[in-house]
Amino acid sequence: MRTVEWDNGVVKMIDQRQLPHRFEVAEFRDYREVARAITEMYVRGAPAIGAAAGFGLALAALQSKATTFEELVQDLKAAYDVLYAARPTAVNLRWALDRLMHLVYSLETDDVEAVRQALVAEAQRIADEDVETNKRMARHGAELVPANARILHHCNTGALATVDWGTALGVIRMAHEQGKNVHVWVDETRPRLQGARLTAWELMQWGVPMTLIADNAAGYLMYSGQVDLVMVGADRIAANGDVANKIGTYKLAAVAKDNNIPFYVVAPTSTIDLHTPSGDAIPIEERDPREVTHVGNERIAPEGVNVFNPAFDITPARLVTAIVTEYGVVRPPYEENLRRVVEQTERDRRRKEE
Ligand code: MRU
């Protein structure tokens, strides 16, 4: 199944907190529960969060008792605020919600039932397009991967982080299917261990050769000539090319630069935020100290210890060799070239709407 699905008025999600030990599917009939599932990371990964929020707003439309267009818009705005607040860093969440609200305002009907159905259809389109977009990125990105490449990867950017297929891991999967004989160094990705739990699980299912490493091993591997390229995803890319991604990404980029290793970011144009001028303006989520004091359910730090737990960091654009999007590989100057691909996306969308 897909990571997030709409099934006849019910939102279904793979409960990623249980993987790799148990494969469980959670069902949601209330948009507030969808917001909670995003916060608690049943679903995670920027594009998957966007799709889940989209379905959440569609649920809110079905839940609403509104009988007039104005009442429905009121209810949708309230749901927007709840879903928007679920997690702050991945811009795909806001992108999906804005796309749906834009649709509501641009419909040439104020028939409440028609608006509800249009929202459900658009949320489904967001999910379907995500899969298509990922496959386009994979084809562009695979061109950057040489035969026998040893690739270092951080966090989880696979099918589980999207609706299906994945971003950076999607590129790696494509390169593997093209017979490039790739090998992946999988960062475990403390504190939530998305690498050890989810990326290892996905790569093993796909049959991609991989080795799990402690995050702290990455620098040594790069220094000792065992990494040909680093490939990661993104939660938000600012207009100047600064990249917010899972905590620890910046350290990888800095060490890659020091060792002349290309550092690639793979992300759809829905992750590019031209309204945010640079990384300094990207909100960085801070999560529960328990993620650091515990591994799984086991406490490893003394009771009462002080903890700081930022979930993301910023990699400055100067450390990013290229950004792979569904419109091709974007290279510096990012300010100019990111704007170009975003404008192209908007032109394509307008053409499809006509
Ligand atoms: O906290 P998470 O697991 O949601 O963080 C996910 C990441 O940082 C991914 O690298 C990013 O969302 C891109 S996923 C296609």
> Does residue 138's CB lie within 6 angstroms of at least one atom of ligand 1?
no
**Are 186 and 200 within one domain?**
yes
Which ligand 1 atom minimizes the distance to the CA of 90? 12
> Does residue 90's CB lie within 6 angstroms of at least one atom of ligand 1?
yes
Model pTM?
A: 0.97
**Are 142 and 264 within one domain?**
yes
**Are 31 and 105 within one domain?**
yes
**Are 234 and 345 within one domain?**
yes
**Are 98 and 153 within one domain?**
no
**Are 114 and 195 within one domain?**
no
CA dihedral 163, 164, 169, 170 (to 10 degrees): -120
- How do residues 13-38 score in pLDDT, each as one tens digit? 999 999 999 999 999 999 999 999 99
What is d(CA 252, CA 23) in angstroms, rounded to the nearest whole number?
31
pLDDT at 354: 77
In the structure, what pLDDT confidence band is assigned to residue 352 with cuts at 50, 70 and 90? confident
What average pLDDT does the chain have? 97
What is d(CA 50, CA 94) in angstroms, rounded to the nearest whole number?
7
Which range of residues forms the domain containing residue 72?
4-135
What is d(CA 230, CA 198) in angstroms, rounded to the nearest whole number?
18
Preceding peptide of 88 cis, ω within 30°: no
Q: If you measure from the C-alpha of residue 197 to the centroid of ligand 1, how many angstroms do you get, rounded to a whole number?
A: 13
As a whole number, mean pLDDT of residues 106-120 equals 96
For residue 325, what is the domain's CATH number? 3.40.50.10470
Nearest in space to 134 (alpha carbons), one of 249, 236, 237, 266: 266
Q: If you measure from the C-alpha of residue 207 to the centroid of ligand 1, how many angstroms do you get, rounded to a whole number?
A: 22
**Are 124 and 151 within one domain?**
no
- Of 91, 116, 135, at which residue does a domain stop? 135
DSSP string, 77-137: HHHHHHHHTS-SS-THHHHHHHHHHHHHHH-S---HHHHHHHHHHHHHHHHHHHHHHHHHH
* Residue 260, token pair as written in the block: 């002349």
Q: Hey, which of 4, 134, 171, 235 would you mutate to test ligand 1's pocket, going by the most ligand atoms within 8 Å of its Cβ? A: 235
Residue 183 burial (CB count, 10 A): 17
- Of 135, 152, 187, at which residue does a domain stop? 135
As a whole number, mean pLDDT of residues 201-217 equals 98
For residue 97, what is the domain's CATH number? 1.20.120.420
Q: How many domains does the structure of the chain reveal? A: 2
Q: Hey, which of 245, 265, 285 would you mutate to test ligand 1's pocket, going by the most ligand atoms within 8 Å of its Cβ? A: 245
Flag whether pLDDT at 321 surpasses 90. yes
- How do residues 32-44 score in pLDDT, each as one tens digit? 999 999 999 999 9
> Does residue 271's CB lie within 6 angstroms of at least one atom of ligand 1?
no
Which ligand 1 atom minimizes the distance to the CA of 92? 12
Contacts of 150 (CB under 8 A, 6+ apart): 182, 183, 185, 226, 227, 228
- How do residues 63-99 score in pLDDT, each as one tens digit? 999 999 999 999 999 999 999 999 999 999 999 999 9
Query: Catalytic site residues?
Result: 235
Flag whether pLDDT at 298 surpasses 80. yes
